[in-house]
Amino acid sequence: MTPLAENLRGAGLMMAAMAAFVLNDTLMKLVSANLNLFQAVFLRGIGTTLLILAIARWQGVLRFRPARRDQRIMVWRTLGDMGQMICFLTALFHMPIANVSAILQSLPLAMTLAAALFLKEPVGWRRYTAIFAGFVGVLLIVRPGSEGFNIYSLVALTTVIFVVLRDLSTRQLDRAVPNIFVTLVTSLAVTTMSGVASVVQGWNSVAQGDLVLLAGAAFFVSFGYMFITMAMRVGDIGFISPFRYTMLVWALLVGLFVFGDVPRPLTLLGAAIIVASGIYTFYRERKVARTMPAASPGAGKIP
């Protein structure tokens, strides 16, 4: 397969993953009218875990035993995934889906900043400027202190912090740890936690239609994770990663045609700034990665 074909395949997989995640979010938002948060997550988690378990068994990774260091890292990763799930769905149940998705588009910028602060990766003034611009875009969406301010916007922003914890932990795992094994452990932990929490939160009667929606959500979220893993293993990451932003297009369409949400002009402006900043950051990281082999050891920060 030629490099162009691999890039196009990766881009297609990334767009399919983003569409799958938005469809999962849509179905979960629909069931929120009848079910509590943890109840919905628990029921979806049963289907998701069973599907991932079947895939893990098919790949023969159920007997894999990670090293003690990787076990500690997976604990932090799982805590990050639990936190982001709770914050994201709490925000999703109380906000337009396009607004939540737009705030989450700041994740690549937050990852770049966190990698510079905690992993000491070189980041120069151009990418710091892009990160600052992206967070200005977030403020346009959140609008703290304004009449249209929604406290759940801050909950959505907290989701980004937990996702950064999850993804930074993932980067520290040994490459020998299978992706499907990590996904299975996380799914089991989230399902167990939500099952316990649903008993405390309370249990509503579950209609047949809700079960159908939850089964669909489990299907889409499972394949979303698989598609994004496949996308990141083919082609040029710098080419493929910007296609993450197609999630925002799907979310805007779903919000408009399914929930009747018309985004405000400031929300659209903020989303555009975040996307432009993120794409520029991807461009700079790709350019830096190409020049790194030629850089001298004492070159210092890369602009």
pLDDT bracket for residue 149 (50, 70, 90):
low
Residue 295 clears pLDDT 50, i.e. is over it: no
pLDDT bracket for residue 148 (50, 70, 90):
low
Total count of residues recorded for the chain: 303
Residue 298 clears pLDDT 60, i.e. is over it: no
Query: How many helices, marked H, and strands, marked E, lie in the chain?
Result: 12, 0
pLDDT number for residue 113:
87
Find, among 116, 104, 198, the residue nearest to 153 by Cα: 104
The highest-confidence range among 38-47, 132-141, 178-187, by mean pLDDT, is 38-47
pLDDT number for residue 175:
82
C-alpha distances in angstroms, 37 versus 2, 80, 87, 197?
Answer: 45, 18, 10, 9
Q: Which residues contact 236 (CB under 8 A, 6 or more apart)?
A: 3, 6, 7, 10, 286
Which tens digits make up the pLDDT trace of 23-39?
Answer: 999 999 999 999 999 99
Report the pLDDT averaged over residues 240-269.
90
User: What is the average pLDDT value for the chain, to the nearest integer?
Assistant: 86
pLDDT number for residue 278:
87
**Tokens describing residue 287:** 């350019």
Residue 49 clears pLDDT 80, i.e. is over it: yes
Report the pLDDT averaged over residues 246-270.
91
Q: Which residues contact 202 (CB under 8 A, 6 or more apart)?
A: 36, 39
